[in-house]
Amino acid sequence: MDIIAQHGTLFLALACLFGFFMAWGIGANDVANAMGTSVGSRALTITQAILIAMVFEFLGAYLAGGEVTSTIRKGIIDAEVMAGQPELMVYGMLSALLAAATWLLIASMQGWPVSTTHSIVGAIVGFAAVGISVDAIHWDKVLNIMASWVVSPVIAGTVSYCLFMSVKYLILDTDDPFHRAKRIIPVYMWLVGFMIAMVTLLKGLTHVGVKLDMGLDSEFGNAALASALIGLLVAGFGSLLMRRIKEVHNPQNRFYSVERVFAVLMVFTACSMAFAHGSNDVANAVGPLAAVASTVQSGGVISAKAAMPWWILMVGAVGIVVGLATYGWRVIATVGRKITELTPSRGFAAELGAAGTVVIASATGLPISTTHTLVGAVLGVGFARGIAALNARVIGSIFMSWLITLPAGAGLAILFFFIFKAIFGF
């Protein structure tokens, strides 16, 4: 307790600094990875993708980031084990933030698309197992998270495969694909608007104190009705944009005009992917920050439940945006151009499948890997075109970077944990 009282302000300042550093790493590496499909399909330029991501990553992180943050903050470690030594919680969370952020910086400089969720969960498990006790870890929760890293890309791949096959059946394989696209694509746009609105209304607005009332008895019913109306607005706006696209006959590419229509849809799916990513991955930066802030502000009492102050989500949201704007260009094309060749129609299926999976996980509080999910979605689209459409060498290198991330995060966290213990005492 004396250590917390003596150095509390410094601990809080370090937590904010390391949390911002971690959020910067998420923006530089993971967001760029998430926006790769839009750039790779040439639906958006890198500049346009970065601008869209800056806005919707911020909104996703601020409006819908609280559920996953609670899992990172208090779901992995048993707080009661450290009740008599709250400084260990502070050292550990500071170490986890600094370790994961350092690894993300290294990976971003090398252009490796790694998982920020792997980085922070590995770091937390590493310091807790070695620095405190193996019994301090909720292994059942860790196993659930690890299972989600396998399940989420499978789900995203399956959804993306089905979406792309629906595009082939309803649009590409018809006699008049251009006019079919203009009729069918607003339905997909409605789906994008509905999905994002649902998670925001059910989970996000609670953080800003807004309660929705559409005249129905249940909260879910109110959200569903409002989301359906928002989806109609999105579809209507998209339809207006598509009116300006005229059919152009290209003898070398029968679907040239169709892909131009899908490029409009990709703007909406890019927004949904950015929102979904921000809502899930901001927790990797602000979860440990919230744990430190709660411990310091309570004078050393480690609480299993703590309110999420708005300024903590703000630190994470701003950090993600700054990281993307300053360094995201180095890795933004990795997934979009190297796993499989993407067109706007393929990119749409991959992006919406991944975004849907991430949004659902965010709403349920499960910190899945956005990188895994998006790669799984792109693989699903690739499989829809045949196994030969996939670049096995690139896929292998991405898998290898995932394997390295867990031990790298854990090892760095253990090192930093003992450095903090040596500096501040215990």
List beta partners, residue 137: 77
* Measured distance CA(99)–CA(113) in Å, rounded: 17
Domain spans of the chain?
2-424
Give 290-343 pLDDT, tens digit per residue.
888 888 877 766 655 555 677 887 888 888 888 888 877 666 655 555 555 677
| Locus of tokens 């131009």 | 260
Which of 72-81, 203-212, 336-345, 361-370 is predicted with the least confidence, judged by mean pLDDT?
203-212
* Helical ranges in 137-176 per DSSP H: 139-167
List beta partners, residue 77: 137
Give 377-401 pLDDT, tens digit per residue.
878 887 776 665 566 666 677 777 7
- What's the whole-model pTM score? 0.78
